[in-house]
Structure 1
């Protein structure tokens, strides 16, 4: 088992919690990967998308996405809202 795979079940739990909040913000998500899961997030209206990772941090876990997105994984609702704002912009 690799060091990243050791965190796989916790990552999956956190990403599933985030995925459950996405529809409330007009987003679609799909978990990808096996032992090292990630979450593909797509905005149906704008077509914009990103991949979200859950990563252990000094004081817990973080959700990370491009470009430069980061939220505490303890608040998946706030992360979904922040990602929605990013993917909703048309500019």
Structure 2
């Protein structure tokens, strides 16, 4: 195995582990997720009541790993529970919104 392949595999494993840790936090906050992307996974997250959704990426950075999501979401992977709360604020229904049918 080449050095580049080993690094790529390590990054893929780390990325998957971070996304899985976030996915584990979502159900307790009323959200659902699905891993997409095979070798380059991303996490599709949605709120069944609001119908709102986003894609979460895990990306290496100079200071460790970051979760990134639209629009403008960016937080460290160090506390997946905190990130789940942030994504939840984005996706939860407005207080006066009717549930999605």
Q: One fold, TM greater than 0.5?
A: yes
Q: Deviation string for 1:52-80 (max 9, x for gaps)?
A: 00000111000000000011101100000
- How many Å separate the matches in 2 of 1:34 and 1:77? 24
Kindly tell me the number of residue pairs found equivalent between the two proteins: 90
Partner of 2:82: 78
Among 7, 24, 30, which residue is 1:26 paired with? 30
Unmatched tracts of structure 2, length 5 or more: none
Q: Which runs of 4+ in 1 moved over 2 A?
A: 3-6
- How many Å separate the matches in 2 of 1:43 and 1:5? 31
How high is the TM-score relative to the length of structure 2?
Answer: 0.82
- How many Å separate the matches in 2 of 1:25 and 1:48? 14
How high is the TM-score relative to the length of structure 1?
Answer: 0.91
Contact 1:49 1:87 in 2 (8 A): yes
Partner of 1:36: 40
